[in-house]
Structure 1
Amino acid sequence: MLYWVLKAVLGPILAVLWRPRAEGAHHVPRTGPAIMVGNHLSAFDHFFGALPLPRKITFLAKNEYFTGAGVRGRAQRWFFESVGAVPIDRSGGTASEGALHAGLRALGEGRLLGIYPEGTRSPDGRLYRGKTGVARLVLRSRAPVIPIVTIDVDRIMAARRVVPRLGVRPSVRFGEPMDFSRYYGMEHDPRVLRAVTDEIMDTLRRMSGQEYVDRYAQDVKRELRQRSGGRRARDADRHGCGPGGATS
């Protein structure tokens, strides 16, 4: 219920402030299960992607959104539970199997399921290597696969930005359904899973015009954090605020 309330309230606001363009929404089935596979530039992807559709998109959301403490954690958990997001554990192993079953349950209920194969937001606007969990879900469910890309949404709300930027007109593009029936029954073959995932990512690359990087975005983010931490430590040392400095 909250999903439709938020859409009714936020939809006109987003339309007035940013006048988003939408192309190809007719490719999305009006009824029945379907998997929406998309790029991930900003938290605003959720809003602009759902705006042109008369159906609710159920997103797979990281488990941390449902386990936070304090006022912010409780508010976050309430929001994601209210809009019907499905929590998933991204730590791998048996956790990945749980995420797969959560997605299959949603599709079994006839939902429109939204997935970001990169697994996290792009750190720099480029498109990164997809994780093969999306291929397992595609082949196990045999649901229609609809590619969706957002363009210039990261210029509105980048990862570290607090206030959304005005003066940007984003676009949302929905592509034709992708056919993976030639791979049905082969979901246990790692080569097939990689082939399906790479085909999805190549489609998203062509639709979005993004530069493709054949690395996982989470690895790149980890390296950036480590470099940032190293720079902070060196700066502190130079100013006498860390180990070996004048005040230590």
Structure 2
Amino acid sequence: MAMPKTTQPRDLTLVLSGPEERLQLVLGQPGPDGLTLLASRQWTVPGQSVRFLVPGLKSVLDEFGLDTSVLGRIACVRGPGSFTGLRLVLAAAEGMAAGLGLPLAGLDYLPLLATGPGPLLAGPLHVLTYARRGLVYMQSFSCPTLNEIAPLDALTLEQAKKHMADIGTEAHLMGTGLRKNPAFFADLTQAEPGYVLLDAASDNPAPERLLAAAERAAFSGESIEPIYVRPSDAEANLDQIAAKRGLDPEEARKKLEALSRA
């Protein structure tokens, strides 16, 4: 009996995600019903994306006897999230796209997270991811349609609490902001029993969700514009940093602006 013929993968979509501690790499291949998952890898390596991303992609392609010539496009989560993580992953995506002549697309992180549990829920869904100590990124959606009901913002915990109260006393909450601030959200749900905290399984997008977002994205030859929402810690504390190094804060600010434009 003849063995069925296999089709050599080609025109693959590579999706990269690293706005938080989890680094994700997904390969999708085109099919009659859209992109299907070929392979995925993930590592929990905060601040070390460069060590794992390119070797990880090579390892995955090697398993199939392929090289980067089979890639057709690259999508990358553009934030918000860790400034270091975003810059490293976006730089890797830009470098590969330039070297291979591939189009790029940026994916917004919080709407992407909402696509996991959101279609199975009803009512408001607040996505809260960790920004830094006492600060979260927050964006709210109406489920199951996932229409935005509150825009993306960087908020203190008390500000986030007020924003949620303005929308209503019944909602689902998700994201790493809950995990990094357990006492605050435990007290919040005790005071507001209509708030339901989703577990950590929703904190990172599934490979299929990343592929689905890439399939909806608009690819082009332009660079991906990152979403930062708030100033970096260096920018926010520039005066103190400059003073400690014996620099004039105004001169340091001018140098930072020049570097940002470079």
TM over 0.5: no
More strand per residue: 2
More helix per residue: 1
TM-score (norm 2): 0.28
Structure with the larger RCO, 1 or 2 (CA within 8 Å, 6+ apart): 1
User: Bigger radius of gyration, 1 or 2?
Assistant: 2
